[in-house]
Amino acid sequence: MLTGVLVGAIFSALLMVFELYRLYQYYHFYHHVYSASAWPEIAGTVVDGHTGYTPGIRGGKYYYAMMEYHYLVQGHKYLGKLKRQ
């Protein structure tokens, strides 16, 4: 009887630690998302764009769009690439 209570207590403690970890992840993710949404916006220029595909596991294809852009902030030019599936 004591071993069942001990196993239950250990399981409950592990479950509680896991839930605290998930709450931390939730907070960290949404804090990052909302702080990034407060950034100022700036206009950019799309330099290049194309589509492509990667082969799938079972012979199919996964299509994606690739976009290359640049923008200017305080006299510094920044380049970036964005891949969307």
Please, where are the H alpha helices in the chain?
Answer: 2-37
Who wins on pLDDT, 30 or 45? Answer: 45
Q: Say if CB 55 and CB 61 are below 8 A apart.
A: yes
Residue 51 and residue 26 in one domain: no
Q: Say if CB 49 and CB 68 are below 8 A apart.
A: yes
Provide the domain count of the chain. 2
pLDDT at 24: 93
Residue 3 and residue 35 in one domain: yes
Asked whether the whole model's pTM tops 0.75, one would answer no
Query: How far apart, in whole angstroms, are the C-alpha atoms of residue 72 and residue 34?
Result: 23
Percent pLDDT > 90 in the chain is: 48
Per-residue pLDDT band for 1 (boundaries 50, 70, 90) equals low
Range of the domain at 80: 44-84
Task: Provide mean pLDDT across the span 32-44.
Answer: 80
Residue 3 and residue 29 in one domain: yes
Residue 35 and residue 4 in one domain: yes
